[in-house]
Structure 1
Amino acid sequence: MTNQAQPQPPALAAATAMFVEVLVVGIGALTAAVLLLIALLGPAATAKLAPIAGSSTTAGAGLAAAYALGILIDRAADTALTPHRRRLRTHFFPTAAAYAQARLHLGDFPDLAAKADYTRSRMRICRGWLFNTMALTLTADLSMLRYSFEHRPLILGATTALGTATAFGFYRAWRALTVTGYRKLAEQTANSTPSAPVPPPQHGPATP
């Protein structure tokens, strides 16, 4: 009787969550890119290209482009916010080695590690959408400048204000999640110890 190897559910769930996470960030980046294209082409050229947007080929290419852009935005956002993130980390871990040791120790607690991964996932989405919101606000304003419609200054002002407030909200959410993650990691690794396995009973020689 042969045992067929089955994919481990935790690993599969983590891979799926990572794919969705990158795609969620990438969709916003792709939308900003489309708005920028509309601003560059203008109303006449956009109207001619509009029928192509509804094809299945365009949808498939858009999904692939969104995933690729999601990776780029995630890396760019991480690079830009890394100095700030490291300053926040020093409030709980004085050195990078202490943080690495805590992360390694957290692996002994699967439940806590899963919760920490979920927190980091939300943090990455917030930092990606911080940059997405700024890009969407800018490209939306640029695209609206190419069209003539009533109350355009008012709508431009409202869009800019809403985009700025939303970007600030994503920054505050990212910062709160980052600080909470470091604080919980410091508390959990300081107060928790993995349960030691119970040794099997030793069957020694019977005493007389």
Structure 2
Amino acid sequence: MTQPTQPETPALAAATAMFVEVLVVGIGGLTATATLLIALIGPTATAKLAPVAGSSPVVGAALAAAYALGILIDRIADTTLAPSRRRLRTQYFPSNDAYAQARLRLADFPALAARADYARSRMRVCRGWLLNTVVLTVSADLAMLRYSFEHRPLTICVTTMFGAATALGFYRAWHALTVTSYRKLAEQTIPGTPVPAQPQPHTALS
């Protein structure tokens, strides 16, 4: 008799989710790096290298590089946003110890802990792609400056505006997810503790 498939353990599921998350962020960083390389070497060299880009060894190396870049980008983005993150955390937790204790208490409730992990995963993707968007926009503008095509100034202007709007969108998403995560953690682990009122949309970034 065929044995039933064993359910995926929470640790394995978390590790898989983390791998995908880092890869998603890293692919953006790798794309920005490739675009910057195109801007540096110019159209002639790019045309010569294009046939090689689709080979299996290059694709494999690209995936490995994307994963490594994802880790680096996540650390840079986390360091950049750390002051804002600490400021938001102090609205709900007076100290790092209080926050750590709340995280430990939440671990006693697997369903709530899984939801919190999912929220933190989305936060990390948003902060990583905030940095990716900025670098992608700059590298795309530089690449377009190396190529001659119709309406180039307009295209560069539109690309820059779209990149700035997208970066702002990722920041606002990260900000909202971070605030919600801290608020829910406080409500779920410190019953009866007053939670500060949420800021109005027009003051959320002040």
Alignment TM-score, normalising by the size of structure 1: 0.88
**Unaligned segments of structure 2, at least 5 residues:** 1-5, 193-206
Equivalent in the alignment of 2:133: 133
Amino acid at match of 2:80: A
Using the alignment, how far apart are the partners of 1:190 and 1:74 within structure 2? 30
Amino acid at match of 1:186: A
1:9 CA displacement: 1.4
Map 1:32-111 to 2 at 5 A: 32-111=32-111
Runs of 4+ residues deviating >3 angstroms: none
Using the alignment, how far apart are the partners of 2:65 and 2:100 within structure 1? 34
1:74-107 CA distance string (max 9 Å, x none):
0111111111100000000011111111011101
Equivalent in the alignment of 1:31: 31
1:191 CA displacement: 2.9
Equivalent in the alignment of 2:3: none
1:7 CA displacement: 8.5
Map 1:108-119 to 2 at 5 A: 108-119=108-119
Identity %: 75
Equivalent in the alignment of 2:174: 174
Using the alignment, how far apart are the partners of 1:98 and 1:14 within structure 2? 24
Equivalent in the alignment of 1:13: 13
1:190 CA displacement: 1.8
Q: Compute the RMSD of aligned alpha carbons.
A: 1.2
Using the alignment, how far apart are the partners of 1:56 and 1:98 within structure 2? 50
Using the alignment, how far apart are the partners of 1:139 and 1:39 within structure 2? 7
1:170-201 CA distance string (max 9 Å, x none):
00000000000000000000239xxxxxxxxx
Using the alignment, how far apart are the partners of 2:7 and 2:60 within structure 1? 27
1:138 CA displacement: 0.2
Alignment TM-score, normalising by the size of structure 2: 0.89
1:55 CA displacement: 0.4
Equivalent in the alignment of 1:143: 143
Q: Describe the SS at the equivalent of 1:136.
A: helix
Whichever of the two has the greater Rg, that structure is 1
Using the alignment, how far apart are the partners of 1:7 and 1:136 within structure 2? 40
1:8 CA displacement: 5.6
Map 1:192-203 to 2 at 5 A: none
